Amino acid sequence: MSKEEVVLLGFWASPFCNRANIALAEKGVAFEGREEDLFGGKSDLLLKSNPIYQKVPVLLHNGKPVCESTNIVSYIDETWPSPPLLPPCPYGRATARFWADFIDKKVFDGGNSIWKSKGEQLEVAKKGFLEILKQLEGAMGEKDYFGGDSFGFVDIIAVPLTSWFYAYEKFGGCKLEDYCPKLYAWMKRCLERESVAKVLPDPEKVYEFVINLRKMHGIE
Amino acid sequence: MAHEVVLSDTRMSMFGMRVRIALAEKGIEYEYKEEDLANKSPLLLKMNPVYKKIPVLIHNGKPICESLIIVQYIDEVWKDKVPLLPSDPYQRSQARFWADYVDKKIYDGGNRILLTKGEEQEAAKKDFIECLKVLEGALGDKTYFGGDKLGFVDIALIPFYSWFYAYETCGNFSIEAECPKLISWAKRCMEKESVSKSLAHPHKVNDYILQLKKKYGVE
């Protein structure tokens, strides 16, 4: 195998970065992970590699940058085809992309609106978030994973976001597992995989991080 | 194998236009169903229960939703002719990046121009032009975003060209004056029948927006 240079610019708490981490681990691709200091000062390499958004994650493959986490996971899947993360048939792939896009549009913003709001707004945020999780449970149906029998593309897009759920529970004053037991069973199944367990941050640490974020946003 | 292809859509939708262009590029015959968004059909609600939006491509009875996902699906099913995405994974990632940029910036950016006034509208115009200039940068000296041939990013962006007249009229500015390269690119795209037949006429789009504004009491 030719020598390849793979660098991932990331941040420990970012679910988006962790998507790329998990995908690379699933493919057995050796890479150098570089932690960015998002609040102290972004590296020149990051700013140069992602001039449009100046955000992590950025995957650098032999120096060429790929940006936007779902795009990075697709790139990883296509560049290192084994084991495949997307199903082989076009309809299955379209369905996977649809749910990955739904997760991208709804889950992070939906969950974060819980710790960003208070009072009446908080109740609205909680209700909205639970509805989103229920829709995801519906998408999974009776399957073990979003992709069916095996861990795949949508699971990789979704599972890193779950490390923020404990923080949402603390600020929302609710236990999400009571509302979405199927989703929590799926989460536990995913955490049995080494690629996931080694990558995902401790939810307690994420909670502390969110407490700081709230302060930075000037929320009491 | 007989293919049954149905497109649930509305004539003015730039997202629907993307799908129409892709189907035309591939020479696929299909049944077009115009939706009344004020009175959505049971078919649409059944085929897109999550968002209840058009476009929806229904292929042999199975629905595919979200315009860029539909275009990729079309490219993968009818893969033997007119590839819309490049074959190289890195080039594909760049195409997806720019199509996603169009999705993130252009629709909302254009709407801000249509729905605001005064200083807010001036800011909206400025932001919109900046985004178009970024896209001009991505186009560079190429004939199309896809290179020599119309590709994924061209298909993602060109439908918005049919809305430019409405943005310009509402905002009282000229996009061509600020982004001549982009307008040249747009005119090149419009020379292709797959594009010119799929886009709504800019004056009709403008009339449609004026009607909508009146209906919802927006000045």
Per-position pLDDT tens, chain B of length 219 = 445 999 999 999 999 999 999 999 999 999 999 999 999 999 999 999 999 999 999 999 999 999 999 999 999 999 999 999 999 999 999 999 999 999 999 999 999 999 999 999 999 999 999 999 999 999 999 999 999 999 999 999 999 999 999 999 999 999 999 999 999 999 999 999 999 999 999 999 999 999 999 988 876
- How is A78-132 classified by DSSP, letter by letter? HHS-SS-SS-SSHHHHHHHHHHHHHHHHHHHHHHHHHHH--HHHHHHHHHHHHHH
- Please answer yes or no on whether B73 and A98 come within 8 Å at the CB atom: no
B 17-76 → A contacts, CB under 8 A: 50, 59, 62, 64-66, 69-70, 72-73, 76
Task: Answer whether residue A2 shows pLDDT above 90.
Answer: no
pTM for this prediction: 0.96
- Chain B residue whose CA is closest to A136: B50
As a whole-number percent, the residues of chain A with pLDDT over 70 amount to: 98
Edge-first strand order for the sheet with A32-35 is: A32-35, A6-10, A58-61, A64-67
Alpha helices in A33-68 (DSSP H): 44-49
Cα dihedral A149, A154, A158, A159 sign: positive
Residues of B in Cβ contact (< 8 Å) with A101: 66, 69
**Beta-carbon contacts of residue A31 (< 8 Å; ≥ 6 apart):** A6, A7, A8, A24
Residues of B in Cβ contact (< 8 Å) with A67: 97
**Beta-carbon contacts of residue A131 (< 8 Å; ≥ 6 apart):** none
Listed as own residue / partner, the contacts of A146-150 with beta carbons closer than 8 Å and 24 or more positions apart are A146/A96, A146/A99, A146/A186, A147/A85, A147/A87, A147/A96, A148/A87, A150/A83
- Please answer yes or no on whether B100 and A64 come within 8 Å at the CB atom: no
- Chain A nearest-CA distance from B33, in A, is 21
Residue type, A191: L
Residue span(s) of chain B under CATH 1.20.1050.10 come to 89-215
Q: What is the DSSP letter of A161?
A: G
Put simply, whether A20 touches B (Cβ < 8 Å) is no
Three-state DSSP class for B133? helix
B 69-98 → A contacts, CB under 8 A: 69-70, 72-73, 76-77, 89-90, 92-93, 96-97
Task: Answer whether residue A175 shows pLDDT above 90.
Answer: yes
Task: Answer whether residue A149 shows pLDDT above 80.
Answer: yes
pLDDT given at position A1: 43
Measured distance CA(A67)–CA(A45) in Å, rounded:
13
Predicted confidence (pLDDT) per residue in A205-218, tens digit: 999 999 999 999 88
Taking residues A106-122, report their average pLDDT.
96
Domain ranges of chain A: 6-79, 90-216
- Chain A residue whose CA is closest to B64: A94
Measured distance CA(B124)–CA(B108) in Å, rounded:
10
Structure tokens at A114: 């819980």
pLDDT given at position A3: 62
Predicted confidence (pLDDT) per residue in A80-102, tens digit: 999 999 999 999 999 999 999 99
Peptide bond between residue A65 and the one before it cis (omega within 30 degrees of 0): no
Measured distance CA(A126)–CA(A107) in Å, rounded:
12
The CATH code belonging to domain B5-77 is 3.40.30.10
- Please answer yes or no on whether B100 and A71 come within 8 Å at the CB atom: yes
Residue pair B153/B98 in contact by the 8 Å Cβ criterion: yes
Task: Answer whether residue A117 shows pLDDT above 60.
Answer: yes
Pick the CATH number of B89-215 from 3.40.190.10, 1.10.3210.10, 1.20.1050.10, 1.10.510.10: 1.20.1050.10
The CATH code belonging to domain A90-216 is 1.20.1050.10
Task: Answer whether residue A126 shows pLDDT above 50.
Answer: yes
Residue pair B168/B175 in contact by the 8 Å Cβ criterion: yes
- Chain B residue whose CA is closest to A138: B50
- Chain B residue whose CA is closest to A139: B50
Put simply, whether A65 touches B (Cβ < 8 Å) is no
Measured distance CA(B124)–CA(B105) in Å, rounded:
11
Nearest beta carbon to residue A94 from set B69, B100, B134: B69
Of A22, A13, A66, A46, the C-alpha closest to A208 is A13
The superfamily in CATH containing domain A6-79 is Glutaredoxin (3.40.30.10)
**Beta-carbon contacts of residue A173 (< 8 Å; ≥ 6 apart):** none
- Chain B residue whose CA is closest to A96: B69
pLDDT given at position A179: 96
| ipTM greater than cut 0.90 | yes
Residues of A in Cβ contact (< 8 Å) with B96: 68, 71, 74
- Chain B nearest-CA distance from A69, in A, is 10
pLDDT given at position B1: 43
Residue type, A94: A
Return the beta strands (E) in chain B as ranges. Answer: 5-9, 31-34, 56-59, 62-65
Measured distance CA(A112)–CA(A126) in Å, rounded:
10
β-bridge pairing B5-9 and A58-61? unpaired
Structure tokens at A200: 């995902």
Predicted confidence (pLDDT) per residue in B114-158, tens digit: 999 999 999 999 999 999 999 999 999 999 999 999 999 999 999
β-bridge pairing A32-35 and A6-10? parallel
- Chain B residue whose CA is closest to A66: B93
Put simply, whether B134 touches A (Cβ < 8 Å) is yes
Measured between alpha carbons, how far is residue A168 from residues A69, A114, A205 in Å?
A: 22, 6, 13
